[in-house]
A = this chain, B = another copy of it.
């Protein structure tokens, strides 16, 4: 692909028949491919066909072949989640980065309601080049992080919550309206987009 991004397929609105067609092309070319937001019932059928394929239930990430171990030690990107319910979106970012060949590490459940948990992990978080910060409910975590840390921060609102959370709209709007400096935002539940945004920065760093 001209821009150096690997090919990626949006799985949620495609029928098994159509996905089978598309995957066959890659399988024949012996190329790996990433499918996002694939529902479990459809994944099961495809896993039957492609015995060596990989599927992560939390995120709906599917790949024709599992990626090599994404060793956390050299992680350049920190994936920070506010609550353990945000695990699916964190995984989507993690596996997308792995597929792009970029190491990352997930730090779970350090939401703003218990500030000490966040402050305890601050030194570790400072060590990453780029932060992907994931939060549902009121989405306050990226605002707090933005006031504490100087790295690029990509905020990802999640659909976790109910009522006034409006399926992630409130977290999204809170992140966009943040009074903290220089946070940028991607679509609700879009771990994939956050990973690609980080990937563009990584490529820029490597060019230098």
Interface residues of A, Cβ cutoff 8 Å to B: 2-5, 8, 10, 12-15, 18, 22, 37, 58, 82-85, 87, 111-116, 129-130, 136-140, 143-144, 146-154, 157, 159-190, 193-201, 203-205, 208
Give every chain B residue within 8 A of A12 (Cβ-Cβ). Answer: 162
Q: Is the CB of B14 within 8 A of A179?
A: no
User: Oligomeric state, in number of copies?
Assistant: 8
Give every chain B residue within 8 A of A8 (Cβ-Cβ). Answer: 181
Cβ-defined partner of A113 (8 Å) among B130, B143, B175: B143
A151 to B182 CA separation, bound complex (whole angstroms): 17
The residue of chain B having its C-beta at the shortest distance from the C-beta of A86 within the complex is B13
Give every chain B residue within 8 A of A137 (Cβ-Cβ). Answer: 177-179
A137 to B139 CA separation, bound complex (whole angstroms): 13
Give every chain B residue within 8 A of A205 (Cβ-Cβ). Answer: 204-205, 208
Q: Which of A22, A113, A146, A190 is packed against the most chain B CB atoms within 10 Å?
A: A113
Give every chain B residue within 8 A of A204 (Cβ-Cβ). Answer: 129-130, 151-152, 201, 205
Q: Is the CB of A112 within 8 A of B160?
A: no
Q: Given A140-B112, A200-B150, check contact A189 B163 (CB 8 Å).
A: yes
Give every chain B residue within 8 A of A14 (Cβ-Cβ). Answer: 84-85
Q: Is the CB of B184 within 8 A of A113?
A: no
